[in-house]
């Protein structure tokens, strides 16, 4: 399983755009980059997934450069309810488990 | 529809007791996973079922941990002779796809069972 490195914590004011960068130098050809979000006392929740370039959904955008050794999760105009831990994962197609690491604890400040 | 549910939500056990944690996956989901999450850490994989078959139990920390899914739906994680180091949140997740499915194996998690061993 490819390991990932991401900041332990980040703070942001409400209404700002937040970018969380993750490095995954050993990503394999068949691996996808996946982000999960976890609120206190809840299980993780899938946010977004991509293979290369840019992916956007109603929650976030994911930017992946050509070499795929890093990725950036972008959360537009965060609100207090976005305070959570965000996990960057590299997942092989057909993998039967997820490796979460310690994630990035995002705190949104009023 | 209903998501993944787990019971009990909280469990306090005395050291040496046996506990059983239940997971009800999303109906129709083929794959079921158990994870252990220590305080301040990310979830760590314990075991994986495809229908009733336990295909991977490489993450179970000791032979005191046992999981089953006899009819391919509800699963139970049993911990025998609990120790203080077993204190953690136990998360269950289910996935529609079998191994090799699309969407990178998106997993849907339950709220977890917080186990405290005194």
Q: Name residues whose C-beta falls within 8 Å of residue A3's C-beta, 6 or more positions apart in sequence.
A: A24, A26, A90, A99, A101
Chain A residue closest to B90 (CA)? A43
What pLDDT shows up at residue A1?
Answer: 55
For the segment A42-97, what is each residue's pLDDT rounded down to a tens digit? 999 999 999 998 999 999 999 999 999 999 999 999 999 999 999 999 988 767 77
What pLDDT shows up at residue B101?
Answer: 41
Interface contact A34-B104, CB threshold 8 A:
yes
pLDDT over 90, % of chain B: 87
Interface contact B42-A45, CB threshold 8 A:
no
Look up residue A97 and give its DSSP letter.
S
Which of A42, A46, A102 is nearest residue B42 as measured by Cβ atoms? Answer: A102
For the segment B8-65, what is each residue's pLDDT rounded down to a tens digit? 999 999 999 999 999 999 999 999 999 999 999 999 999 999 999 999 999 999 999 9
A-B CB pairs within 8 A amount to 67
Task: Give me the half-sphere count of Cα atoms (radius 13 Å) on the Cβ side of residue B76.
Answer: 8
Tell me the CA distances in angstroms from B44 to A45, A54, B20, B34, one per residue in order: 15, 28, 19, 9
d(CA B53, nearest CA chain A) in Å: 13
Count Cβ atoms within 10 A of the Cβ of residue B102 and give its class: 0-12 exposed, 13-18 middle, 19 or more buried. exposed
Q: Name residues whose C-beta falls within 8 Å of residue B102's C-beta, 6 or more positions apart in sequence.
A: none
Instruction: Give kind and range of the element (H or E) at residue A38.
Output: strand A31-38
Q: How far apart are CA A49 and CA A35, in angstroms?
A: 6
pLDDT tier at A6, thresholds 50, 70, 90? very high
Q: A89, A33 in Cβ contact below 8 A?
A: yes
Q: A49, A33 in Cβ contact below 8 A?
A: yes
What pLDDT shows up at residue B100?
Answer: 42
- The 3-state DSSP class for residue A73 equals strand
d(CA A17, nearest CA chain B) in Å: 24
Considering only CB atoms, which residues of chain A are within 8 Å of chain B?
32, 34, 41-46, 49, 85, 87, 91, 93-103
Interface contact B42-A103, CB threshold 8 A:
yes
């Amino acid at each position: 399983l490819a390991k990932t490195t991401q900041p332990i914590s980040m703070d942001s004011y409400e209404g700002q755009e937040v970018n969380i960068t993750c490095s995954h130098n050993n990503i394999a050809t068949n691996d996808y980059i996946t982000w999960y979000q976890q609120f206190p006392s809840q299980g993780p929740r899938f946010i977004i997934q991509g293979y290369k370039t840019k992916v956007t959904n109603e929650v976030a955008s994911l930017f992946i450069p050509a070499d795929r050794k890093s990725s950036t999760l972008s959360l537009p105009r965060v609100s207090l309810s976005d305070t959570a831990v965000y996990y960057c994962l590299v997942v092989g197609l057909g993998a039967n488990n997820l490796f979460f690491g310690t994630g990035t604890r995002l705190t949104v400040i009023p | 529809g209903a998501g993944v549910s787990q019971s009990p939500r909280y469990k306090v056990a005395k050291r040496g007791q046996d506990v059983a944690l239940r997971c009800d996956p999303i109906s129709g989901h083929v794959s079921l996973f158990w994870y252990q999450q220590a305080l301040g850490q990310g979830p760590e994989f314990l075991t994986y079922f495809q229908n009733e078959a336990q295909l991977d139990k490489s993450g179970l920390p000791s032979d005191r941990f046992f999981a089953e899914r006899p009819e391919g739906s509800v699963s139970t994680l049993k911990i025998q002779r609990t120790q203080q180091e077993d204190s953690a949140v136990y998360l269950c997740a289910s996935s529609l796809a079998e191994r090799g499915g699309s969407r990178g194996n998106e997993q849907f998690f339950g709220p977890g069972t917080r186990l405290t061993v005194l």
